[in-house]
């Protein structure tokens, strides 16, 4: 059981029930989540000792967000209270060829205006085995980007292994801004989660081969290689989503550690809720790596875990380790367990 | 922004939630809709100035029906109040190989017993660019058929362009009755929406070629040609639904203007609610034509719009113009917009 | 209209709505069902005079279970009241590659502790045409196994035709225990529902051919032949489920009467609720056979009926005879009936 | 256990949840009820063998209405199928000083157009102990009034005891029409349920004393006396509702048999649903009288039963006999039973 | 039918169902409302031609807010689109001695940052009979206070009658700030709605008599007199709420026009939803005054209307004119209308 | 912040929504609670470090029960997993004169069959300030009674202060059995919660005065005095519930420490959910005493806290300390906080 720390924003998600458009909804389903918070809950469900670092408003809505994590056994003692508001995102779930629609209302959130001094990272990282961050946190504000950098530096200083997920959000920042900030942060990262597109569009890297002629996996391996060389990652991994429609996706992942490149089997998923799919992958990968599994086994676990996430409503992956292992071992028949 | 008038019945739809059979339902979902009303709302959503002409009972249920239209910016000043009741239809949504089941309880509705004199069509059509009607209105009663004829004649007289959708309903009238009435109405129509089957079974037309050897599109073009010649339509269009099951359909459309025959791409749809699919097509087509687009572009817009309708609960198509255009331009991936 | 008796346990089913995991649920959907009870309701819906034999606690929850049957016109006069509790099963419906999960809480139920003397089988079977039982009843307790045997013997004695469905549940008993008990019960059975796996794993029979080289149907026929020879069945039937995932299954069935082996067409089902699928098959088969149809027609009816069951929420098959016949006659298009 | 027959219309009730106005409702709660049907269910719950005589449409909505009765053990074999539609009433439940609002949509219902010849009253009343009817049935149509008369005459002929409840509804008929019809029906009645206002306004009777000076009970006794003399009732009973508001009512009842006048204690009720309050009183009274209790005891039972009805959602009184007896014996504390 | 303009913020209200605390809620009920918007809807329901002036974000949530008004026939052409977000308030409805709890999240809303130049008040007030504003609008930001002043000045200039409701909110501004701003705004007001406490605590006025010895009405009249003298109101009115608990309130109102002081009867209300009670009073008062009724009749109408509001879920008063008149005329019995 | 330990059973509560009778419910509301668990959550909400000691089955339902506690910050590390099942109770909430009805299905629960050796009480009580138990735990089984005794002895040995609540449940044990067991347990108790009736009927004590002539408080004081003398309590407290009906109760409490007898003010409560009212009182009392408040202040806090509980759905008291203090300080007006 490892001590794993994640830091980020937790938001209130308000979604319409039954595929309704916003204009039809008389009530919203309430969930609390966010990139790193989702990772944290999933790792807690897998049995690790997880800590979430954040700032929420000192009001009942902030309290609800914390309780939602605590319910799943996330340690919340490093969540501070204050600031103006809890960020919100409105979600209109898509179906078939109609995409899900997200409306952000997250500006001025407590976490986006939190200051470095408010967190005692020496205490937070004491005895920690792993620290995870996503590219959403530095995207929400300059202050949050500074906070992310400070945390990464302290984690490196204290010997905590660090993973970071690009998680690029076009509604939060531009490629240019993302490139500038991520370039500062990535040197402190051990395990990076991203895609060849992140390397090309955000970091401005150039594939060695012309992409059109090359196989997708070759380009991916090339870009992962370049990233590893530039930032010194131990390994880099990423998911491949094939969006046939909002209802059906293909899902696989690949990993590269400078030596071996591995691409998992592909899952064809009937989607219940795809939000948090990437986060559940990150959680699965961290779970495998922190437990000392090889990169292939860790990746297989992560891919099965995140495929299952797509069958669960809400942001967070509530599957158990044994459910993941059953799928990982090949039983995708969905037969009733009775 | 064109002034578009539609006339017809608006009904209360009572449907069971969660694929329940009627006998399981402890509550019914409430929607208000009907062929032409659905067209009207969709055109209002696309930004046109729409007017709905109808009669509803002067009680709270009639008021609910009107409010449901007004919410989406349909002008309701030509809806008159009186008569006995609001028509109802009960809907048991199907799934997989189980078809949706509709139970009509629409006899004696206010609109079915409305008289021509109750409507001031000179005022209604003043400045109007378009008038739309469906074959459901003349089917509900002889009085309504008379009303439909009067409205069509006045529209023609005042130079308002007219579209009409066959929309044949076997539970409302026979092929014979439909043929007799439609034959009186169609001479006043500019844009007709229907199928080769409507021409053959309702109007008693004969394909030039034996259907079995011919390609479906050839037969369609043939019948559309015959219809255009007989009634003087400017163009005729129709949708092609392939019902693989209640859950999955293929969807495309074709149009013919006497010169050019065009058949769109086919969408494979995972269905949320298929009621109103044809109405949303009519709305899309009118939208394109009233804005002066060519028949191909208008048809592509109509087909994309109506494919999206199938992903939305309720009778009416609540998608926005930009959602339609994104799909029309080829993005059917259903990727989250964030 | 035949008099058909079934006997078994009726349970409270508590299931999570909207694909929620148990840990997300703030309310449970309430259904009452159970192997033989499901058969009974379905046969009542098809127009037969059905009687359910069971024991439920003398409290409001037991009363709810009885009312749920009575609503669908099952005669409940042979249900006795007493004992400790109504058995429960918790259901977490699966989706895509995530299987449905069942948690049983049925020990100590009134039916599992009912004594033979509490039932007056002479009255119960008087004038009865058919008696149906499933392998779940003898599995729930030794007392229930004794009760099952007594009922079967009395039915045979009184010339009532008997059907029995293996319905093996690994969470209730082992292959060994099942084999021992079923071997005692099967000699009283006329129509047996099961699979080649039941023959091999529960009854310890051996396929004549090596299964790997043989076609599945050949092995099935072989095992059915052996079963018929050993126990004197009039015929044996079984369903073939292909679990592509928790959301999509293939579904067909076969039957053998010692002379003719028949395998139906296969239905590809988009699943709403698969619990009770086997029970609805048994009901359909009994319906056909009790009405004197041939085994092929009875099987086609049973297969169509049970395919439709998968589109209905809850344990019981609420389709009507005409819905089954429409599907049986080939219309699987799911087109709206209006 | 007496055989008790009631005859009347069963309707679909569509009500808004959570004190919503009609214009707010996105779903309606579904209940099936009606004056005599409510009486029937309540008597079935008290353990009597009840039969409901009616006509419902031969469609799934008619089937739902029947199933709703059967669930509570009402024998439905005398309900015939056919006609146009099931009557509907929309209910907007009131609160505090806002009254509940009912919108009727019951014209053209199957029952309102049923003919005398469709029912075999000789079979229906064979062995019956009691027949109950309310003034709603003759109010819905002239045909239904004829049917009511025919049933009452046959009941009298066959020696079945008859009760009738005035149940005057101003939205269905005028005082004049009601007076004319009721005067024809009442001679066949043994137990009449009504009020002094019914006598004065519907039957045009005149109080012996000036009402303003007299005590309410004295006027009631006077009018009951006049009614008994005129129509030959065995006894007459009525409820007294004090409507403090839509949320709080006082409730008591009185009875007179020509000799003794008795007025029960008054219950102060916090109301959950007051529809069906009068019907539950009729059921309670019939229950007591058919079991041979004295009029005081029967009235106390009826009053307690109907007070409890007001705490239950829906039209029908689902309390058990023991719940009524506990209240009747004085325990109105509402203490948890655990 | 008067043209009535109101201006203010419209917010998304998120409330917990069934008396849940925030921490229990898995879904929030969605309503759109706000002080002046509530007034506007109520006046539209009474049949007036109402216009709402506001700014909402140009996203689907802003669109929902507008549609919610349009549904009730509010003219929304003066609502502009832009800015950052729609303000939110979270509501935890109270019961008995537990107060309702409101959490505001309205900072940075589009309306709070709207500029005077964005509105064309000459067009807006053209032909208008009345303009209503509440003290919430100037409280939300300095910019909104400037906007309020500009609107009031233009209304006065164009001869539009003006009403203003103090509506003091302690969570939005202090007494001092409110006093300073209101003092600037009130000279442009014709009809003022407030309380003696507003005069004393916000405007710093001093009662002529010592309050402890005086009757409440005398103090109120005194303060209203002082207000009228200082600001030149035509009349001043206010409501008196007696909060026995969150579930039960007394409700009355008084008015003074410099000559006559009138205090209405008191309603004892069982509360369904008390938010918007004051707004519904303002709407009722404006309704009466704009129609030329005397102050007593207008006040009686306003008081009955607002008492009824407390029985309806949501912010807005959806009662009809006839419902108000029935209560106003003394029928508070809550008897079912059928 | 004190370390407080409670031990007991946690159950699944299944309740009908909207005042439905069991027979009407299509879904049950899900809550997890139980006497001591409710106390534990409430104390956690007040800011104390609470630990719950129990045994739940090692399945998803057991996991849900634990998560429900953890959500509110109860430390669950001493909850062990195993045994047969989670106990259930079905709740039909009453209204007005209809009492709530509870159906227990808690036999064979994991906690009722837990053995003393399964718990390490030395660790559990290490550093603990307080241990709380209720009379429900020893009532559920002899094994649980042994466990209770062992825990109490160890708590006394380790100097942990002990409170115990009689909480007599007639459906669980008789007065005789309760008297025998409680007599063994009470000598280890410091703070006892109970009533004069507990002393008289369970412990067989005799009031010094004839109850009929004496004031209720005098009898209570007398019995508390006798209890204190016999068992050596530090103080004894109890609540006084006046059940006007299931909807309205009066609520007060009294305490006696051998010297001073104090009876609080009475709260008149409109009830949302009265289950857990006594537990919330126990929590409030422990909260006050463990923080060193005087008995009067502690009792006032406990009474206000438990009055507020009655306004919250579910078993557990989710109010905050500040909400309690506001009520305790006299503000019972229920005015909106905004």
The mean pLDDT of E1-17, rounded to a whole number, is 97
**Which stretch of A162-176, D153-167, D193-207, D211-225 has the lowest confidence by average pLDDT?**
D211-225
Residues of C in contact with A72 (CB under 8 A): 23
Share of chain D above pLDDT 90, in %: 94
Is the Cβ pair C68, D71 closer than 8 Å?
Answer: yes
CA distance E52 to chain A (A): 19
Question: CA dist C213 to A81, C207, C216, C219, F4, Å?
Answer: 68, 12, 9, 10, 67
Report the residue count for chain E: 338
For residue C220, the Cα-to-chain-centroid distance in whole angstroms is 20
pLDDT per residue as tens digits for the range A69-94:
999 999 999 999 999 999 999 999 99
Query: Is the minimum CB–CB distance between C170 and chain A shorter than 8 Å?
Result: yes
Is the Cβ pair C27, F25 closer than 8 Å?
Answer: no
Chains that touch A (3 or more CB pairs under 8 A): B, C, E, F
Catalytic residue among B222, B279, B300, B315: B279
Residue in D24, D89, D97 nearest the CB of E308: D97
Is the Cβ pair C102, A310 closer than 8 Å?
Answer: no
Q: Is the pLDDT of residue A59 over 90?
A: yes
- Summary count for chain F: helices (H), strands (E): 11, 14
Q: How far apart are CA A116 and CA F87, in angstroms?
A: 48
pLDDT per residue as tens digits for the range C218-258:
999 999 999 999 999 999 999 999 999 999 999 999 999 99
pLDDT per residue as tens digits for the range F140-164:
999 999 999 999 999 999 999 999 9
So which residues of F are the catalytic ones?
A: 279
pLDDT score at C312: 97
User: Which alpha helices (H) appear in chain B, and where do they start and end?
Assistant: 35-45, 60-71, 121-125, 136-140, 142-157, 175-185, 196-197, 216-231, 277-290, 295-309, 321-328
Is the Cβ pair B71, E71 closer than 8 Å?
Answer: yes
Is the Cβ pair C71, D70 closer than 8 Å?
Answer: yes
Nearest chain E residue to F322 by CA: give it.
Answer: E98
pLDDT per residue as tens digits for the range E64-107:
999 999 999 999 999 999 999 999 999 999 999 999 999 999 99
More confidently predicted of E213 and B290:
B290
Instruction: Check: CB of residue C272 under 8 Å from CB of residue C312.
Output: yes
The mean pLDDT of C183-209, rounded to a whole number, is 95
Q: How far apart are CA B243 and CA B250, in angstroms?
A: 7
Q: How far apart are CA F206 and CA B280, in angstroms?
A: 82
Q: How far apart are CA D285 and CA D236, in angstroms?
A: 11
Is the Cβ pair C70, D68 closer than 8 Å?
Answer: no
3-state secondary structure of E114: coil
Q: Is the pLDDT of residue A213 over 90?
A: no
Query: Is the minimum CB–CB distance between A85 and chain E shorter than 8 Å?
Result: yes
Residues of C in contact with B21 (CB under 8 A): 312, 318-319
Mean pLDDT for chain D overall: 96
pLDDT score at C214: 64
Residues of A in contact with B16 (CB under 8 A): none
Is the Cβ pair B270, A99 closer than 8 Å?
Answer: no
C279 part of the active site: yes
Is the Cβ pair A336, C244 closer than 8 Å?
Answer: no
Q: For helices E35-45 and E60-71, what crossing angle results, to 10°? A: 30
Which tokens in the block code for residue A90?
């409105």
pLDDT score at D5: 98
pLDDT per residue as tens digits for the range B104-161:
999 999 999 999 999 999 999 999 999 999 999 999 999 999 999 999 999 999 999 9
Residues of D in contact with C73 (CB under 8 A): 67, 70
Phi, psi of E5 (to 5 degrees): -110, 135
Q: Is the pLDDT of residue A214 over 70?
A: no
pLDDT score at F213: 60
Q: Regarding the domain delimited by E3-324, which CATH topology (the fold level of the hierarchy) does it fall under? A: 3.40.1190
Query: Is the minimum CB–CB distance between C320 and chain A shorter than 8 Å?
Result: no
pLDDT per residue as tens digits for the range C44-60:
999 999 999 999 999 99
Instruction: Check: CB of residue F49 under 8 Å from CB of residue F6.
Output: no
pLDDT score at A52: 98
Q: Is the pLDDT of residue C164 over 90?
A: yes
pLDDT score at F209: 77
pTM: 0.96
Query: Is the minimum CB–CB distance between E313 and chain D shorter than 8 Å?
Result: yes
pLDDT score at C330: 85
Query: Is the minimum CB–CB distance between C102 and chain F shorter than 8 Å?
Result: no
Residues of C in contact with D67 (CB under 8 A): 71-73
Residue in F24, F98, F104 nearest the CB of D334: F98
- The domain covering C3-325 belongs, at the CATH homologous superfamily level, to Ribokinase (3.40.1190.20)
Q: Is the pLDDT of residue C78 over 80?
A: yes
Query: Is the minimum CB–CB distance between F319 and chain E shorter than 8 Å?
Result: yes
Is the Cβ pair D247, E310 closer than 8 Å?
Answer: no
Query: Is the minimum CB–CB distance between F70 and chain A shorter than 8 Å?
Result: yes
Nearest chain F residue to A71 by CA: give it.
Answer: F71
Residues of C in contact with F23 (CB under 8 A): 60, 63-64, 67
Catalytic residue among E129, E222, E273, E279: E279
Q: Comparing C-alpha atoms, which of B69, E247, F90, D34 is closest to residue C85? A: F90
Is the Cβ pair A102, B267 closer than 8 Å?
Answer: no
Residues of C in contact with B245 (CB under 8 A): 270, 332-334
Q: How far apart are CA F5 and CA F76, in angstroms?
A: 11
Is the Cβ pair D60, B23 closer than 8 Å?
Answer: yes
Query: Is the minimum CB–CB distance between E338 and chain D shorter than 8 Å?
Result: yes
Catalytic residue among C129, C273, C279, C315: C279
- The domain covering A3-328 belongs, at the CATH homologous superfamily level, to Ribokinase (3.40.1190.20)
pLDDT per residue as tens digits for the range D17-56:
999 999 999 999 999 999 999 999 999 999 999 999 999 9
Q: How many residue contacts between B and D have a Cβ separation below 8 Å? A: 71
Query: What residues contact residue E43 under an 8 Å CB cut-off, 6+ apart?
Result: E4, E6, E50, E283, E286, E287
CA distance E337 to chain A (A): 28
Question: Domain residues of chain F, as ranges?
Answer: 3-328
Q: Is the pLDDT of residue C337 over 80?
A: no
Residues of B in contact with E70 (CB under 8 A): 70-71, 73
pLDDT score at A334: 82
Q: Is the pLDDT of residue C210 over 80?
A: no
Chains that touch B (3 or more CB pairs under 8 A): A, C, D, E
- Cα atoms in the Cβ-side hemisphere of radius 13 Å centred on A329: 6
3-state secondary structure of E63: helix
Catalytic residue among A165, A257, A273, A279: A279
Pick among C15, C18, C28 to test the F interface (most F CBs inside 10 A): C28
Four-CA torsion A211, A216, A217, A218, nearest 10 degrees? -20
pLDDT score at C261: 97
Mean pLDDT for chain C overall: 96
Mean pLDDT for chain F overall: 96
pLDDT score at A331: 84
- pLDDT confidence tier of residue E335, bands split at 50, 70 and 90: confident
Mean pLDDT for chain A overall: 96
Residues of chain B with pLDDT under 50: none
Is the Cβ pair F23, D334 closer than 8 Å?
Answer: no
Which tokens in the block code for residue C308?
């439709």
pLDDT score at F337: 76
Q: Comparing C-alpha atoms, which of E107, E34, E42 is closest to residue E66? A: E34
pLDDT per residue as tens digits for the range D284-333:
999 999 999 999 999 999 999 999 999 999 999 999 999 999 999 988 88
Share of chain D above pLDDT 70, in %: 99
CA distance A76 to chain F (A): 10
Query: Is the minimum CB–CB distance between E71 and chain B shorter than 8 Å?
Result: yes
Phi, psi of F84 (to 5 degrees): -90, -45
Is the Cβ pair A64, E92 closer than 8 Å?
Answer: no
Is the Cβ pair A334, C96 closer than 8 Å?
Answer: yes
Q: How many residue contacts between A and E have a Cβ separation below 8 Å? A: 71
Residues of A in contact with F68 (CB under 8 A): 71
- pLDDT confidence tier of residue A324, bands split at 50, 70 and 90: very high
pLDDT score at D211: 60
The mean pLDDT of E103-120, rounded to a whole number, is 97
Nearest chain D residue to C68 by CA: give it.
Answer: D71
Is the Cβ pair B103, D59 closer than 8 Å?
Answer: yes
Mean pLDDT for chain E overall: 96
pLDDT score at C213: 60
Q: For helices D35-45 and D60-71, what crossing angle results, to 10°? A: 30
The mean pLDDT of A205-233, rounded to a whole number, is 88
The mean pLDDT of A293-302, rounded to a whole number, is 98
Instruction: Check: CB of residue C156 under 8 Å from CB of residue C150.
Output: no
């Amino acid at each position: 059981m490892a001590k794993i720390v994640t830091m980020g924003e937790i938001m209130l998600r308000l979604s319409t029930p039954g595929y309704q458009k916003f204009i039809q909804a008389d009530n919203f389903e309430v969930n609390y989540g966010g990139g790193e918070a989702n990772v944290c809950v999933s790792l807690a469900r897998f049995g690790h000792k997880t800590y979430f670092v954040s700032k929420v408003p000192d009001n009942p809505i902030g309290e609800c967000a914390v309780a939602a994590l605590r319910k799943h056994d996330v340690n919340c003692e490093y969540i501070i209270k204050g600031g103006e508001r809890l960020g919100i995102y409105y979600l209109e779930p898509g179906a078939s060829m109609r995409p899900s629609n997200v409306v952000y209302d997250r500006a001025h959130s407590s976490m986006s205006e939190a200051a470095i001094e408010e967190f005692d990272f020496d205490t937070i990282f004491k005895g920690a085995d792993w620290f995870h961050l996503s590219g959403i946190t530095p995207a929400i504000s300059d202050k949050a980007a500074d906070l992310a950098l400070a945390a990464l530096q302290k984690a490196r200083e204290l010997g905590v292994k660090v993973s970071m997920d690009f998680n690029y959000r076009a509604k939060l920042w531009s490629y240019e801004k993302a490139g500038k900030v991520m370039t500062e942060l990535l040197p402190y990262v051990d395990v990076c989660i991203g895609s060849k597109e992140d390397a090309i569009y955000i970091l401005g890297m150039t594939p060695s081969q012309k992409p059109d002629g090359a196989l997708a996996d070759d380009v991916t391996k090339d870009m992962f290689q370049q990233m590893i060389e530039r930032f010194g990652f131990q390994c880099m991994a990423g998911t491949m989503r094939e969006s046939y429609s909002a209802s059906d996706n293909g899902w696989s992942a690949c990993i590269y550690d400078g030596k071996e490149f591995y691409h998992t089997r592909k899952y064809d998923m009937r989607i219940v809720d795809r939000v948090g799919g990437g986060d559940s992958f990150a959680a699965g990968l961290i779970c495998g790596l922190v437990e000392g599994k090889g990169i292939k086994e860790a990746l297989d676990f992560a891919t099965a875990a995140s495929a299952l996430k797509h069958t669960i409503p809400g942001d967070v992956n509530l599957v158990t380790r044994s459910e993941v292992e059953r799928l990982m071992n090949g039983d995708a028949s969905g037969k009733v367990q009775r």
